[in-house]
Structure 1
Amino acid sequence: MSFKKTKPRNALGTALISVLSISPLAHADQQDNKNAQIEELKVIGHKDGLMQVKNPTASKMNLSFKDTGRSITQLDEQLLKDLALENVRQAFDYVAGFRGNGPADRTYTARGVRTSIDNVMVDGLRSLQGGEAGTGSRLPSTFNAESTTFLRGPAGLLYGAGVGGGLINITTKRPEADAQTRIGLGSRSYVTDGSNFDSNRFTVNLDSTGGLVEDDVLYRVLAQYTPDGDHFQEGRSVDEKLFDVALTFNIGDSTRITPRFESTDRERSGGSGYADGVFERNFFSGNVTTYGKPVNRSFYYGSNQDKGENSSKSFSLMLEHELNSNWDVLLRARKNETESESLDLYISDSSGLGNSVGEDEINRKWVYAKGDDEYVLFDGAIEGKFSTAGIEHHLLFGANYRDMDVGFARNFQSNSDAVGKNTISASNPRQQLVGPVPTDLRDVDLSPRNEKDTNIYLKDRVTLGDFTLAGGVAYVKQEQQETRRGTAYSGDFSDTIWDLGVIYALNSDMNLFATYSRSYDPVSARWISQYGQGKTSFKPVEGDNYEIGIKGDFFDKRLSSGITLFRLERSNSTKFERIDGVWHLTQLEGASFRSEGLEWDASFALNEQFISSISYAFTRAYDTIGSDEGKQANNTPKHSLAIWNTYQFTGELDDFRLGAGLRFESDRNDGDYVLEEYVEADVGLYYDNNTIDASLVLRNAFDKNRAEAGANWVTVQPNDPRSLNLSIRYTF
């Protein structure tokens, strides 16, 4: 393969059309046919079938979706733009089986398993963009994303410890030989409780790529600036600067080196997320079991002094080398540095504040947090194919390493000092007292934490006729050190894990698969030191994941579909429990947790104009022992569904498209409370004439007002109200 003759985005199998495909599948063919004026040659659907698109996330191999025996969904750049999805958390709306957790929570839920946002990968390497102080807990921006892939289930063999419920991989845009520059403007306007679209946020963006020295040196520059943009809650705003620059050096026809630098600077008035919560209607009755409709969702229950700052910088280097026509080497390294700081006046669940459900006057207290975090990461692999005695082998051997240094501190105002000084009315948040920030609140010493992860793996796919046997083995090691309040915690953990899969080709378009995979997740020293309450002997959480399914392109490639049945068994699972007013980290030893269900992703091209896509998950996730035995896991709806439809106009209006979608989730648990089921709708109008493209997207079109997640105490995080999203880009 000659790198110079292949655009970088395709060389590693980055798919431009997702399994949950929002792009009009026949649009490119329609444009060619329109130019040639040959109606008979129009093609319905993707000419090779969506399941033939390559994606390496689940296997680190150059495999198609069809040949990957795992449940996986990819959202491409066009989808992210069509739905006005600004970050990974918002992208969860259209990927069944994934949910973001509370506003200041650095986790998401996949298959019922609470998973750290450290498992959000960028180009296959873990990303530490969030900041320990919570200011980046919204998860990484998608401004520079070529695609975003969601892998359900464990992936410890290839990615190391900690990947228990599923991972997310953002594939960034890379330099291309064809010169092109896009400049764009965007806006998001929110409905508020009092009027329509009077909270506005504007962005300016740039995307430029091409050759600096013919095809030998390519570049790509992406930038996005959001100056002092409004949040939908009064008194909150964000000022954000995003920058990404990459160069690709093509050395001969077999070697490519790509250095890349990314920077994120975010300043938020209105805090880090601790005070995002508002009250819901059941609070005022004095009895909360189900979270009802949020009240005063457009108001911020913090103070005008709350702020959050987050600065993240990342430098990465990627080397791709073709040894010969069958063997390739891929080496990647990255260093991430993130500094974060936040100040919030928030409604705490501390019993010492004396707050009670149903009372209007609520006490708050100040909290200050600071983080200084650093990742050093490496991943290297050699991939190749060979045959012996008529048996085909597809081999992958590699290793990855992570050295994480985190300094973190959080300081709370004492309850006795806060009572009576920082009150706020639950029914009227404008009626509040804001007391002084304690002089010693910012006097903190960062508690250091270090974690080193080593992972060495070997995979082989053996194909004989229509059968492929895929097996792998890995050595996983994690070393932890944490110092908190003068007490040191440490632990060394290691294990050998394996996976196994069988794929049977029914024909060239359809595969059956059955897969077993494992996870190995040592309990974080951070949680042990903070919530172990003196207990330090926690066993690693281990998981066994079973999947069977079918993937294929059907009906002359009009329908692309994948259905997966899964069961995930976990041992030694952990949970947070409040005992005598104090949070404890507890462990259920032995077989303790099960998640099972069905996942279905499909895209159907009815004709050349109309395309419908669906993502559905049924998830039954619960503890199998303990006090919550049989209870559905937190933030895990049994049913989640996303449908998106697009219609491409023809004739004189063939530059226009329409889009419309629905999102549904059944009831979810949030500890002792229930989040009610909901249905939301999104609609969009799009224009593209190859020079100017524009979109007008109405998210939450019917302005559904609901609780998105639990926040602090019995407050809730409201969902985003109706928003009007305008984007216009000029390409030259």
Structure 2
Amino acid sequence: MIAAILSTPTFAQNSSELSEDKQAQQDIEVISVTGRAVNLYRNGDSATGKLITDPLNSTQMISSINESLIRDQGARDAKDLYRNIAGVSQFSYAGVTARGFRQEEIYFDGLRGDPYVGFNVPQLFNVERVDFLKGPAGMLYGPGAPGGLFNYVTKKPSSEFRAQGRIIAGTDSRFGGSLELNGEIADKQNARVAVFHEQQDTHRVHSDSEVTIVDTGYSLELQDSLLTLQYTHYQQDLAANRLRGVPVDDNGNFLTGTDWNHNEPSDFLNMRSDVLQASLVGHLTGQLSYDAAIRYIDNEQEQNYHEPRALIDSNGDGQIDLVGREFRDQLREQQQLSFGINFVYESQLLGAEQRTAFGGDYYQGEEDALLGGAKFSKDHIKRYLSNSSLDSDILPLSLFKPNYGKTQSNKYDVKFRPKRNTEQERTGAYVLNELAWQQFTLVTGVRFDQFDDTSGTVSFDDNNVSYRLGGIFKATDNISFYAQWADSYEPQGVGSQNELVGGPFEPTTGTIVEAGLNAELFDDTMLLRVSTYQIKRQNLLQATGLDPEGDGEDNLAAVGEVTSDGVEVEVIADITPDWVVSAAYAYNDAQITKGAGGSGIRNNVGDRFANAPKNQLGFWTRYQLPEQHLAFALGGNYVDEQLSLSGQKVKSYFVADASIIFEVDDYKVMFRIDNLFDKEYAESGFIDRTGHFPGKPRSAFVEFTYNW
């Protein structure tokens, strides 16, 4: 389900436009809005494609979720929003399946780099909008998966004074609150100060979450530009984490309760991240505008957890009843530096309005990791079962009567590897040109990328050229047809470039052919978008099982290919002036078409790709009663059957949610129920020893908001 299709501009806006956009975001939070209800969730133009574009003049799909929908759904982290985007479903942690492919690339404010880094899911407190750019985006953003990419647009200071406080309480000992202050502090100088804290238990035994975000910003309006400075501190403390799944049988049935946890109560995943960002937006001339930004991220993650390593049938009755585990003690420190600048030049050529975007970006990421582990000994199971285990053993955990606390982490013989250093460097430059006649629009683009990866003593560098071609035919003022061809690439993991395994290898590549329809119908009360596409992803590495050189390392070969065919339909419409419905349907058939087995593609030719459902259907509907200051909202999410990485079935599921909102003057109260019918389900599957990721059972909360 998608609530709004297009985003507000990110690039090439002047300061007055930014202030107007911020005011618009404030206006739509009021329940008694003027105009149609559709304005609650529908965004305006988008610049995620480097050129500011309205819905009827886009050659690619950009799904956008605005702050009103985030608030109505009570969303706290990115996982709460995946159902709102056609073709996107959960894979693992912050990773998703997008148009059939695993996708983990995350951008903030148009810059590469994720302050949450991998196993921590992005929180939404300081996020104004979430954009998802669908399909290969190599020409626009460089290396990435062919399914698309996320861009989180953070909240910025504005001149309009705004103060907002929130308090939340709910099931699972959930409690928290936030405070946001925003406004002018001096002539043409604006500031934002905000803090958020929330804690709660989770549905997995011993597991809980505590999140703190401190977000600050300062902006200065210059004569022809706007300077914005931001600092954000993120802190997540997750007890009894990192969380894997719950074991299942081959038919996707959980072998035990979905609250089962493979971790000990003393395990944890703690994350700290500090982000500094500066941006400058403005005009050099009446025809030339620019948007430049730089960001530095300093991140640290510390983890102690028990990794499932073996499923055990202890008495030979054919039923798995124990899980063998190993202990992992990890410290990861990462620094990321991102820079990007985008220029837009407007002119006329061949009787058409011409816009040319050109610019470049740079990314450098460095990770120092100290990884330690204590594996269970080969005879630990026997000693445990004979009731003669040693204190230093990592005891297996029962699926039915978990014996937490019997194994003692402080007595493990932990072996640490030498500190591992990994570096990534990405440099890119691009040109994107648009020629717009009255009925036809032609878009062409090209990008050059240089990448350099190092891990320990292994290093590899190469370059790539990406292209994009798109066109639009406007049948009427309100109906247009579009088509595009574009490509993408991803460098192979630097460890796979070792000559001992057959490296170096060319990057994994992806191409798309897409066509679609964009229409505003019924006096602009309905926005309809339809697309059909085929994506081919090639050069996936496969393990050959052969060692022709006799060097003790089995060779890899780049022979894999996956083909993804799909259709997507997205609608947001008014039923009445006070009743809005947003819905999205996605059909996707992602199949392995070349290669078999191995590390690149885990299933066989002809099989569906892992965690890629054929059908998805999501909706969100809100009916408001302005005179009573009430609104009622209901949403649903259907995800078709999937396969895990090990080929185990992941059952289809449908989950419904509901909200009741009361708002009068400066007060707002929302009552929210998630998983209304308490459905037991798996969001996705991983490998058999780690199981499927269980969805959350029914939960509820009340949130009180006051604005002044």
5+ long unaligned stretches in structure 1: 18-22, 33-41, 190-198, 281-287
**Partner residue, 2:531:** 564
Alignment-mate amino acid for residue 68 of structure 2: Q
Q: Does 1:121 align with 2:103?
A: no
Q: Which residue pairs with 2:563 in the alignment? A: 594
Which of 633, 636, 648 is the aligned partner of 1:662? Answer: 636
One-letter amino acid of the structure 2 residue matched with residue 87 of structure 1: D
How far off its partner does 1:430 sit? 4.7
Q: Sort the Cα spacing of 1:583 and 1:128 in 2 relative to 1 into closer, same or farther, 3 A.
A: farther
Of 246, 250, 256 in structure 2, the residue corresponding to residue 278 of structure 1 is 246
Q: 1:500 offset after TM fit, Å?
A: 0.4
Secondary structure at 1:411 match in 2: strand
SS of corresponding position for 2:185: strand
Q: Aligned with 1:601: secondary structure?
A: strand
- Determine whether 1:698 maps to 2:673: yes
> Distance between the aligned counterparts of 1:355 and 1:478, measured in 2?
52
The separation in 2 between residues aligned to 1:723 and 1:111, in whole angstroms, is 30
The letter for the 2-side match of 1:75 is I
Choose from 532, 551, 565 the match for 2:518: 551
Distance 1:107 1:303 in 2: 25
The residue correspondences of 1:140-159 to structure 2 (distance < 5 A) are 140-159=122-141
Cα distance in 2 for partners of 1:172, 1:427 equals 44
Alpha-carbon distance in structure 1 between the residues aligned to 2:330 and 2:37: 54
Q: Distance in 2 between matches of 1:703 and 1:402?
A: 44
Structure 2 counterpart of 1:639: 615
- Kindly state the Cα deviation for residue 446 of structure 1 after the two structures are TM-superposed: 2.5
Judged with a 3 Å threshold, the aligned counterparts in structure 2 of structure 1 residues 414 and 207 are, in CA distance, closer, same or farther, namely same
Match of 1:54 in 2: 45
Distance in 2 of aligned mates of 1:125 and 1:356: 54
Deviation at 1:676, TM superposition (A): 0.5
Q: Answer whether contact 2:611 2:685 (CA < 8 A) is retained.
A: no
Report how many residues are paired. Answer: 671
Question: Could you tell me which amino acid in structure 2 is paired with residue 86 of structure 1?
Answer: R
Distance in 2 separating the partners of 1:456 and 1:360: 55
Measured against aligned partners, the alpha-carbon deviations of 1:430-482 in whole angstroms (never above 9, x if no partner) come to 56731344555274432111111111000110122211100001101111111
The aligned runs of 1:281-430 (5 Å cut-off) are: 288-293=249-254, 295-349=256-310, 358-416=319-377, 419=381, 420=384, 421=393, 422-430=395-403
The one-character-per-residue Cα deviations of 1:139-188 (angstroms, maximum 9, x if unpaired) are 21111111101111111111111242210111111111110100111134
Q: Pick one of 167, 173, 178 that aligns with 1:205.
A: 178
Q: Distance in 2 between matches of 1:306 and 1:533?
A: 37
Cα offsets for 1:268-294 (capped at 9, x unmatched): 211222xx33344xxxxxxx2121146
Cα distance in 1 between the residues matched to 2:459 and 2:143: 16
Aligned twin of 1:232? 203
The change in CA–CA distance for 1:540 and 1:218 in structure 2 (over 3 A counts) is same
User: Aligned partners of 2:86 and 2:193: how far apart in 1?
Assistant: 33
* Alpha-carbon distance in structure 2 between the residues aligned to 1:15 and 1:459: 29
- How has the CA–CA distance of structure 1 residues 356 and 675 changed in structure 2, closer, same or farther, with 3 Å as cutoff? farther
TM-score, normalization by structure 2? 0.89
Q: Give the match for residue 216 of structure 2.
A: 245
Amino acid of the residue matched to residue 236 of structure 1? S
Tell me, in whole angstroms, the C-alpha distance in 1 between the residues paired with 2:590 and 2:471. Answer: 26
* Aligned twin of 1:684: 659
Please point out which of 672, 692, 705 is paired with 1:716.
692
| Aligned residue number for residue 525 of structure 1 | 494
> Aligned ranges for residues 142-221 of structure 1 at < 5 Å?
142-189=124-171, 199-214=172-187, 216-221=188-193
Structure 1 equivalent of residue 7 of structure 2 = none
Deviation at 1:564, TM superposition (A): 0.7
The answer to whether the Cα contact below 8 Å between 2:225 and 2:283 also exists between their aligned partners in 1 is: yes
CA 667–533 in structure 1, closer or farther in 2 if over 3 Å, else same: farther
Deviation at 1:501, TM superposition (A): 0.4
Give the drift of 1:130: 2.7
What is the distance in 2 between the residues matched to 1:44 and 1:318?
A: 34
Change (3 A) 1:299 1:714: closer
CA contact (8 A) 1:681 1:701 kept: yes
- TM-score, scaled to structure 1: 0.86
Are the aligned partners of 2:662 and 2:669 in contact in 1 as well (CA < 8 Å)? yes
Distance 2:510 2:233 in 1: 36
Q: CA RMSD in A?
A: 3.0
Q: What is the CA distance between 1:387 and its match in structure 2?
A: 1.0
The corresponding residue for 1:107 is 95
- Match of 1:363, SS state, is strand
Instruction: State whether structure 2 residue 57 is matched by structure 1 residue 67.
Output: yes
Residues 383-403 of structure 1, C-alpha deviations (whole Å, 9 max, x = no match): 121113422211101101101
1:280-315: CA deviation from partner (whole Å, max 9, x where unpaired): 4xxxxxxx2121146322342321111111111110
Between 69-78 and 353-362, the greater mean CA deviation after superposition? 353-362
Asked if residue 463 in structure 1 is aligned to residue 436 in structure 2, the reply is: yes
Name the CA distance, whole Å, in 2 between partners of 1:50 and 1:182. Answer: 23
Residue aligning to 1:284: none
TM superposition shift of 1:342: 0.4
User: Where does residue 726 of structure 1 map in the other structure?
Assistant: 702
Match of 1:500, SS state, is strand
Contact 1:266 1:309 in 2 (8 A): yes
Q: Please give the alpha-carbon distance, in whole angstroms, between the structure 2 residues aligned to 1:697 and 1:583.
A: 55
Q: Does the aligned pair in 2 maintain the 1:354–1:363 contact within 8 Å?
A: no
Structure 2 gaps, min length 5: 1-11, 385-392, 547-551, 597-603
Q: Secondary structure at the match of 1:415?
A: coil
CA offset at residue 729 of structure 1? 0.9
Describe the shift of the 1:369–1:495 C-alpha distance in structure 2 as closer, same or farther (beyond 3 A). Answer: same
* C-alpha distance in 2 between matches for 1:188 and 1:154: 40
1:296-346 alpha-carbon deviations (Å, 9 max, x no partner): 223423211111111111101101121233321111111111110101123
CA contact (8 A) 1:161 1:477 kept: no
Match of 2:68 among 71, 74, 78: 78
CA distance in 2, matches of 1:521, 1:188: 42
Match of 1:10 among 21, 46, 62: 21
1:257 aligned partner, one-letter code: L
Could you tell me how far apart the structure 1 residues matched to 2:504 and 2:122 are?
Answer: 34
Paired residues of 1:294 and 1:707 also in contact (CA < 8 A)? no
1:239/1:267 contact within 8 Å kept? yes
Aligned to 2:195: 223
Aligned match of 2:232 in 257, 262, 267? 262
Find the aligned partners of 2:322 and 2:206 in 1 and give their Cα distance. Answer: 21
Distance 1:456 1:4 in 2: 26
1:93 alignment counterpart = 83
CA contact (8 A) 2:331 2:370 kept: yes
